[in-house]
Amino acid sequence: MTAELPTIALPGTGDRVPRIGQGTWRMEQDDRRDCIQTLRHGVDLGATLIDTAEMYGSGTVEEIVGEALDGIREEVFLTSKILPRNADREGTVEACERSLRRLDTDHLDLYLLHWPSSHPIEETMAGFRELLDEGLVRSVGVSNCSLEQFVAADEALGPDHDLVTDQVLYWLGSRNVENELLGGLREREVPLMAYSPLGQAEFPDEGTPPHDALSAIADDHGATIAQVMLAWVLRHEDVFTIPKTSSIDHLEENLAAAEIELRAEDLERLDEVYPATDSSRIPTL
């Protein structure tokens, strides 16, 4: 691929990140060397947003990412996430400090609450404020939160800071976020970060209507089914995404999806085989 990746602005930060970044969930199951090579190659190609979490491999994936970033940390927009069970005020700061040690860095560019916690949101946001004030994180957000939960967290964060994104499951087979969350974030000029944009590599079986539709659209665009699925997520200009791969070939395939612009008739055909839902419940994997 030769074209530069399109970018998206994060509110109130001055930062722009690529609309296709690199996810790392379950990367501990893959060959460590392949993971490191793929992450570094992605940065070379402009996929400088790397998302990880303390949960992934119980910290192992953060260590892999830290190794991959040796010598190139300043080129990367690095995101990690805190487990909800750790998310009282003191625990939030301590969890972040552990992540920083595993990642071998002195700061995170973005720190997210992984999903809603049993700890009061005021406690978590107090921890986030402390991390922001100390310079250990540059921006904060949430993950797997409904619009109501996002608004409550943003209010608890206080007037001096804003949440910059909500990272949620969004792919053709899971469209709940379209009913309330996406529009609500849009009104607040907050972009949505879509994880698992290919589901769990949930490509439809050959001979089924979803496969036939995706295959025909892919052929029309000289693309693959995976690229069409990614292009569908990116049809919204205020959405960016973090597909995970430890394969350089798949990485390059993913990034090339940024050049695909689906037509109205493509979207209509996909709506027929992957219909929207009435639910606004935020699903998780």
How far is the CA of 279 from the CAs of 31, 176, 233, in angstroms? Answer: 38, 6, 18
Contact, 108 vs 99, CB < 8 A?
A: yes
In sequence order, what DSSP letters do the residues of 219-245 get, joined into one string? HHHT--HHHHHHHHHTTSTTEEE--B-
DSSP-assigned beta bridge partners for residue 113: 82, 142
Contact, 82 vs 112, CB < 8 A?
A: yes
The backbone region for 46, taken as left when phi is positive above 0, alpha when psi lies in -120 to 50, beta otherwise, is left
Q: Which of 56, 170, 195, 274 is catalytic?
A: 56
Contact, 246 vs 27, CB < 8 A?
A: yes
In 3D space, the residue among 75, 71, 30, 67 whose CA is nearest the CA of residue 49 turns out to be 75
56 assigned to active site: yes
Which residues are part of the catalytic machinery? Answer: 56
